[in-house]
Structure 1
Amino acid sequence: MSKYLIIGGHGKVALLASELLVHNGHAVASLIRNPDHRAGVEGTGATPLLLDIEQASEEDLARAMEGMDGVVWSAGAGGGNPARTRAVDYEAAVRSMAAAKAAGVSRYVMVSYLNSSLDHGVPEDNSFYHYAQAKAEADEHLRGTGLDYTILGPGALTLEEPTNSITVREIGYEGPSDTSRANVARMIVEVLASPNAIGKTIGFTDGETPIEGLFS
């Protein structure tokens, strides 16, 4: 049994991933900032931990990570507020990476988005710019931390049932990008179990390649 901490634990992807990990025999703790979300997390079999990552210090986060075998970042500010987007999607993410190192947790999975890149090309007057920039900078920072990272870049998220199959997409992909949140959750589970996924950035959409055994 492994122990995992999911940051952003009440998000739809996080809840699905928690349920799968618990079903597979792992212990999961999920960081949430709203106490009203405790029951939802507990319903997956995970243990809710109340901590606002926007305000939490590196030391706060490191304490939450003690004894964990891996960390999953599945948090986000949700857009709409550039300052908060920067505070959560970049600054808090970077603190969580430093905290993982301080806590001795080397495995770190980042849920990003398809085509995340410092060369994203989104103009500054576009409402998506602040998110694109924050995520790209956080992903790039993660690559330089020395952590055993995997960056997952799903396409446009849907609530469709899982197909258990994806297609890997390269940076710059511009085709249909629907990606089931349930497939993203399955990718989280798969990469956590796969040493061959370490050091990889994986853009993907729903597709034809089975997720199970993808990195074997």
Structure 2
Amino acid sequence: MRIVIAGGHGQIALRLERRLSARGDEVAGIIRNAAHGDDLRAAGAEPILLDLESASVEEVAAHLQGADAAVFAAGAGPGSGPRRKETVDKGAAILFADAAVRAGVRRFVVVSSMGADPEHQGDEVFDVYLRAKGEADAYIAQQEALDWTILRPGTLTNDPGTGLVRLEAHTGPGTIPRDDVAAVLAELVDTSATAGLILEVISGSTPVSVAVKSVAGN
């Protein structure tokens, strides 16, 4: 498979790139800082230099041509202000979805956030973030040309992955290593039977492949 990942230098994205390339997939990651290219190459991914805050749908679609799946893993980051929550966490996600539709890429997986809600109230930066993610999710969920799956992890940690998760429509709050989120994403990319699902994931007791097959069968 050829898989294109938006936000290719993110902590989850780099883990996902290593995992996908190790199993033989052709992986490309979109980055806006050329200095990050070597990190992607080390992870087994082809760097694509493109700024999703300023690129057109046509430019992004050109890089998605021929891909079997697209993963949106970009984010403005914890140090960013409200404006970039709108331009990256919302705007770039919508742009990437529109570009996937334009390029004919059906499989589309999103890294969202637990608590994402277009109706979320509040004016603090994290409130704006949850609202922006929720608005992006709602937009993507309306795209009939996409076989989308939205993944909403709990609180992320850098602990070593266990390979054991709880993956459900609603898990309640919890933590999860980024390693395990990447493992779930790798399974979801391959499992189009999860299309149309919004899933929460935290650490649990079920092996990742079993957890994904379980939700796909519901």
Same fold (TM over 0.5): yes
Given that residues 179 and 206 in structure 1 are in contact (C-alpha distance below 8 angstroms), is that contact kept between their aligned partners in structure 2?
yes
Counterpart in the other structure of 2:201: 204
Q: Distance in 2 between matches of 1:134 and 1:204?
A: 20
More divergent stretch after superposition (192-201 vs 179-188): 192-201
User: Does the C-alpha gap of structure 1 residues 117 and 169 become closer, same or farther in structure 2, counting only changes over 3 Å?
Assistant: farther
Given that residues 115 and 171 in structure 1 are in contact (C-alpha distance below 8 angstroms), is that contact kept between their aligned partners in structure 2?
no
Shift of 1:172: 8.0
Q: Does 1:88 align with 2:85?
A: no
- What SS does the corresponding residue of 1:149 show, helix, strand or coil? strand
Runs of 4+ in 1 over 3 A off after TM superposition: 169-172
Matches within 5 A, 1:61-80: 61-79=60-78, 80=80
Q: CA RMSD in A?
A: 1.4
Q: Distance in 2 between matches of 1:164 and 1:172?
A: 17
More divergent stretch after superposition (110-119 vs 45-54): 110-119
Matches within 5 A, 1:116-195: 116-120=116-120, 123-146=121-144, 147-171=146-170, 173=172, 175=173, 177-195=174-192
Count of residues in correspondence between the two structures: 211
Gaps of 5+ in 2: 214-218
| Structure holding more helix per residue | 2
Q: Distance in 1 between matches of 2:184 and 2:167?
A: 11
User: Does the C-alpha gap of structure 1 residues 191 and 172 become closer, same or farther in structure 2, counting only changes over 3 Å?
Assistant: closer
Given that residues 166 and 211 in structure 2 are in contact (C-alpha distance below 8 angstroms), is that contact kept between their aligned partners in structure 1?
no
Shift of 1:214: 2.5
- The superposition leaves residues 120-149 of structure 1 with CA deviations (integer Å, 9 ceiling, x where unpaired) of 4xx423221110111000001010011100
Q: What amino acid is aligned across from residue 189 of structure 1 in structure 2?
A: A
Q: Distance in 2 between matches of 1:119 and 1:203?
A: 18
Gaps of 5+ in 1: none
Q: What amino acid is aligned across from residue 139 of structure 2 in structure 1?
A: H
- The superposition leaves residues 35-92 of structure 1 with CA deviations (integer Å, 9 ceiling, x where unpaired) of 1101100001110010011111101110110110000000011143111110111112
Counterpart in the other structure of 1:111: 111
Q: Does 1:214 align with 2:217?
A: no
Q: Distance in 1 between matches of 2:9 and 2:31?
A: 6
